[in-house]
Amino acid sequence: MTVLNSLFRALPRIAVTLLVTVAAAGGGWWLWDYYMNEPWTRDGRVRADIVQVSSDVTGLVTDVRVSDNALVHAGDVLFVVDPGRYRLAVEQAQANLDSARAEQAYRSAEAGRYERLGNNVVSTAQRQEVIAAMTKAEAATKQAEAALNLARFNLERTVVKATVDGYVTNLQLKVGNYVAAGQAVVALLDRHSFYVMGYFEETKLPRIHPGAPVAVRIMGVDADLSGHVDSITRAIVDRDRAEGSGLVANVNPTFNWVRLAQRIPVRIALDTVPESLQLVAGRTATVAVRTADGAATRKVADLSAER
């Protein structure tokens, strides 16, 4: 009886111990699954498309119409390249066209005169020579017209305009700088292209699908932004392999037994952005993808607090 009484008295302690053990094991499993598999990350960045504006023509910059960080709209003038030489090119092309047209008119009139003459006055060879000269004059006129259009086009391109609505960033261009055709000199950030790139561990990808709702918390902002998964990157760099000589794979002979999960970029489209929020490409964000049943994996505010 003494042993049974002792056993009965110990049952509550044993039950509590088992309950605590089971709760601890369950909590540990939940934490492991949450941190390893749940689709959320604090490694997110705000990004946007940047248009590298360059000039179609070469020359000195005579006027810069924008300032750093200024908001511009599509069609606004950014800067002007010295148009002097291009005006002269237009005048020269116009003169060449006038000369070609005069030559064409002369050759056409000459061909008309030879056509009215009888075969006993001019030979067939002479007629062919006159017709060939007229055809060459017509081709020269078309060539001169094309040269004039190109000269006018280059003159128009001395005024460089914005192609999108956006913000001028890191402006270094000054009056007097010499720019070459095709050389990017102004960075224009498209204001309508902001998105968030979340870098998720590869173990979390099975729970991430295009179209899934996403909660985004930008560092320093109290409210969450709503968005959705736009796409998942299909390739990242394999750092254990490089191209060798003869197009043979050059594989790293060493292998680290402790393997860290790769970070896969996932593009997040923002559904609504408050007008009061100033989006800046490069800002840090916490991204939480909501599960398939619609429940949030966790409040983004709580995730941000763990930074």
Rounded Cα distance, 173 and 180, in Å: 13
- Of 281, 280, 285, 289, whose CA–CA distance to 304 is shortest? 285
- The DSSP call for residue 260 is P
Alpha-carbon Rg for the chain, nearest whole angstrom, is 37
Rounded Cα distance, 121 and 279, in Å: 85
- pLDDT for 292 equals 56
Please tell me which residue, 193 or 126, carries the higher pLDDT value. 193
Evaluate if residue 297 carries a pLDDT over 50. no
Rounded Cα distance, 84 and 30, in Å: 73
- pLDDT for 118 equals 63
pLDDT digits (tens, 9 = 90+) for 85-133: 999 999 999 999 999 999 888 888 877 776 777 666 666 777 777 778 8
Rounded Cα distance, 115 and 172, in Å: 66
Evaluate if residue 302 carries a pLDDT over 60. no
Evaluate if residue 185 carries a pLDDT over 90. yes
Rounded Cα distance, 47 and 270, in Å: 11
- According to DSSP, the β-strands at 184-190 and 50-54 are antiparallel
Rounded Cα distance, 288 and 304, in Å: 11
- Of 265, 267, 276, 287, whose CA–CA distance to 194 is shortest? 267
- pLDDT for 31 equals 60
CB 225 within 8 A of CB 218: yes
In DSSP notation, 86-101 reads HHHHHHHHHHHHHHHH
Q: Structure tokens of 158?
A: 């001395």
Give pTM, 2 decimals.
0.74
pLDDT digits (tens, 9 = 90+) for 48-68: 999 999 999 999 999 999 999
Q: What residues form DSSP beta bridges with 215?
A: 226, 288
Q: Structure tokens of 119?
A: 């075969």
Evaluate if residue 5 carries a pLDDT over 70. no
- Around Cβ 254, how many Cβ atoms within 10 Å? 5
Q: Which 3 state secondary structure label does DSSP give 226?
A: strand
Q: Which 3 state secondary structure label does DSSP give 4?
A: helix
